[in-house]
Amino acid sequence: MPTFGTLSTPVGVISVVSDRTAIVRVGWRAPAPADADASPDPLLAEALAQLTAYFAGALTVFDLPIDLGVQTDATRAVLTALHETVGYGKPVTYGELAERSGTAVPARGIGSIMGANPLPIIVPCHRVVAGDGLGGYSGGNPGEGLATKRWLLELEGALPTSLF
């Protein structure tokens, strides 16, 4: 049975779902799974602790087992390349991630995969940017996707802090 927890962050309330062996979902405004178990889950507690440390600027690498769920081979390759090769504060372009993934997915397709990422923050889709700017971002509170992406990149030192 999955377990569910939430964390209040500077970019909104984040929900985390664990199946007790891996983190299977991270998202904004996500409701608890209907079959969520309320009993203690050390993995969920660790995930929430690591996310808290990340948002405090004290954690740069997540050390959690993850499960991307059912994905196409190309999507899994792209998300795995993102998770394993794109470090804290080191954004890459959509095209660079396509190349790292070893797939034939075009840059525009990489953007679609980022939007479907089941584990944002932990699998850092906010670090994937356009060649000429931030690109898009579907995380964060409604209507605040790009502001959320900018905030996360500023936290990681990848962008100068906004003046306003």
Cα(105)–Cα(94) distance, integer angstroms: 10
Cα(134)–Cα(85) distance, integer angstroms: 19
Length of the chain: 164
What is the pTM for the complete model shown? 0.94
DSSP-based three-state secondary structure for 158: coil
- 164 residues of the chain, pLDDT tens digit each: 999 999 999 999 999 999 999 999 999 988 888 899 989 999 999 999 999 999 999 999 999 999 999 999 999 999 999 999 999 999 999 999 999 999 999 988 999 999 999 999 999 999 999 988 899 998 998 899 999 999 999 999 997 766 55
**Domains contained in the chain, CATH given:** 3-55 (no CATH), 73-155 (1.10.10.10)
Neighbours of 52 (CB within 10 A): 14
The active-site residue, picked from 47, 86, 125, 155, is 125
Cα(116)–Cα(123) distance, integer angstroms: 11
Whether 36 sits among the annotated catalytic residues: the reply is: no
